Amino acid sequence: MIPDHIALYGLLRPGHGPFERMDLGAALEPAGPCLIRGMLHDLGPYPGLRPGDGTVRGQLYRIRDGRVLRRLDAFEDYDPRRPRRSLYLRRPVRLLEPAVVAWIYAYNRAPPAGSRIAGGTWTPGSKAQRLPRTSCS
């Protein structure tokens, strides 16, 4: 099954610059807030979602024009022919809310120790509240 939705949780959300510069509004139709299973990490200028038991807050969009995925792949440094070299991987996941399958971009590296963001919401330039460092972070 090829998802017809995409969940955005970082810089690609409206109001952060790339959404507007890339004219994503023409290719993506807003479908409301969403919850993604995983752990969100503060990587400095952008976040990274990794698999895990946490919850990440994002925005869901219905894909109007599938060609937008090529632009998003390039922005996220995802090359389907070279996944090991890709910074992010585009993967279909079943969202926690709403219960739909959507594309997400998952960070394809080990995140820095202590970088997990409590609450699963990232905002550029903010001092994210991080979880205490543990042996499991």
pLDDT at 125: 61
Residue 117 domain-assigned (yes or no): no
Domains of the chain: total: 1
> What is the DSSP code (8-state) at residue 25?
G
Q: How many other C-beta atoms can be found within 10 angstroms of the C-beta atom of residue 77?
A: 12
- CATH number, domain of 34, equals 3.10.490.10
SS (H, E, C) 51-117: EEEEEEEEEEEEECCCCHHHHHHHHCCCCCCCHHHCCEEEEEEECCECCCEEEEEEECCCCCCCCEE
3-class DSSP state of 30:
strand
Flag whether 32 is in a domain. Answer: yes
Q: Can you give the pLDDT of all 137 residues of the chain as single tens digits?
A: 789 999 999 988 877 777 888 888 899 999 999 999 999 999 988 999 999 999 999 999 999 999 999 999 999 999 999 999 999 999 999 999 999 999 999 999 999 999 999 889 988 764 444 444 433 33
Distance CA(114)–CA(125), nearest Å, equals 18
Residue 68 lies in a domain: yes
How many of the other CB atoms lie within 10 Å of CB of 43?
A: 16
